[in-house]
Structure 1
Amino acid sequence: MTAAPIALLTDMVSAAAISTLSAARGLPNTVFFVSSRAALDRLFEPFDADRPWPGRLVAFYSDVVVPQRYLDAMSLEPVNIHPAPPEYPGKRALEFALRDRVDAYGVTAHVMTLPVDSGPILSVQRFPITPGMTEEALRYHTWRAGFALMFGLMPALAADAPLSPDPALAWGTRDCSEAAWQAVRAEQSA
């Protein structure tokens, strides 16, 4: 039996790194790159809930919102690697965390659902923010943590089996959307 394919919704460099390292781990899945909403549309064009796509979609630090009809057209749960801990759901998580002067940050792997950053959480990778850490350094550590989380989950993501969310992990209620961030910026400049 052939292993289910994995489609990586991410940038080209991340897709190449993840694909190369998953092959080095001996995972039998075909891993391919989905670069944009248009590429996602092409991938799911022939599939629907009655005839699902036979693989797993994994979004890695992607801003593309996957439509519900595509989420319904998958035989395996889609996963998102979110570049923030569960306390910071949304696109502008890092900016809010910096504003809050938190002493730790992290990344979250979760089952993809709508609304975004709300699905059952599979795992979280955290790291400390050291005194004087710049925004650039924090972004670097966030990328490193994301790759570490992804590689740790690869055997589960490669399996043709349901995933096991961690019931002890839950999303925070903080709104870290683009609109919320723009409202904060407008308030600061007023």
Structure 2
Amino acid sequence: MIDEKILFIGDSSRWSYSAADCLAIVFRHVDRIFWDHGNEPPSAVENWEGDRLFTFKADLILTPAVLAQVKKTAINFHPSIPDYRGIGGYNYAITEHRPVFGATCHHIVKEIDFGPIIKVLRFPILPSETVDSLRDRTASYCLILFYEIVQRIACGQKLPSDCDEKWSPTLHTRAMLARHEMREGQDSHLLKFQLRRV
């Protein structure tokens, strides 16, 4: 086992628990936090110091002070392609009829979902895809990408630094997603009304 101190922050999904279990096999000291939006922010984060920090499908915003306490790497696994920073990527991708989606691994910086991209793992969106099915499939690709990156670190390999992927300048917020869902709901209601009149 690697004698490093690790902080893992994930949501409460089974995917995050699997990712945390992987770290416990590789590293000797792993602190785990499972947190979902709407819960009280975990106070343990502010006082943590260590070698590496991993966030996995987590919406928790880390302060520059927290990032400064990480000695080696702070890496996020974002459940979306770089076109969609922030939240709601599943919703936007389906609305825009994107042919592919994916998971993005990147270094964490003070700007949300804007650090140097390490790797993007893409997959095709199915014709019958829903937001829920896309969310679940993306989580599985996030976990595959997580295993790959942790394996690289465990083997002493350098992480890719020549990725050509670029982030979109737009940060999608919860307010933006709420407006998007409202518009989609109104459009769906209007379509049903028009079909009833045909």
Bin of the TM-score, shorter chain as denominator length: 0.7 to 0.9
Is the counterpart of residue 3 in structure 1 residue 3 in structure 2? yes
Q: CA deviation at 1:22?
A: 4.4
**1:61–1:82: 8 Å Cα contact kept in structure 2?**
yes
Gaps spanning 5+ residues in structure 1: where? 48-52
Structure 1 pair 92/183, CA: closer, same or farther in 2 (3 Å)? same
- Which deviates more from structure 2 when the two are superposed, residues 63-72 or residues 1-10? 1-10
Higher relative contact order (CA 8 A, sep 6+): 1
In 1, distance between residues paired with 2:86 and 2:118? 17
In 1, distance between residues paired with 2:86 and 2:20? 26
In 2, distance between residues paired with 1:73 and 1:161? 23
Q: Deviations over 1:42-65 (max 9, x none)?
A: 2442x6xxxxx2221111000110
Give the letter aligned to residue 108 of structure 1.
T
Gaps spanning 5+ residues in structure 2: where? 188-198
Given candidates 42, 45, 69, the residue that maps to 2:44 is: 42
In 1, distance between residues paired with 2:175 and 2:111? 15
- Paired residue for 2:192? none
In 1, distance between residues paired with 2:169 and 2:45? 33
**1:76–1:161: 8 Å Cα contact kept in structure 2?**
no
Instruction: Return the index of the structure with the highest Cα Rg.
Output: 2
Give the letter aligned to residue 21 of structure 1.
C
More strand by share: 2
Query: Identity, % of aligned pairs?
Result: 22
Given candidates 108, 111, 118, the residue that maps to 1:112 is: 108
**1:77–1:163: 8 Å Cα contact kept in structure 2?**
no
Is the counterpart of residue 121 in structure 1 residue 120 in structure 2? no
In 2, distance between residues paired with 1:159 and 1:74? 20
**1:3–1:158: 8 Å Cα contact kept in structure 2?**
no
Q: Deviations over 1:139-185 (max 9, x none)?
A: 22101101000001013445789744334121123442222223334
In 1, distance between residues paired with 2:100 and 2:84? 12
TM-score calculated relative to the size of structure 2: 0.78
In 1, distance between residues paired with 2:183 and 2:16? 38
Aligned ranges for residues 1-190 of structure 1 at < 5 Å?
3-12=3-12, 13-22=14-23, 27-36=26-35, 38-39=41-42, 41-45=43-47, 53-158=49-154, 163-185=159-181, 189=186
Structure 1 pair 14/6, CA: closer, same or farther in 2 (3 Å)? farther
**1:5–1:30: 8 Å Cα contact kept in structure 2?**
yes
Give the letter aligned to residue 135 of structure 1.
V
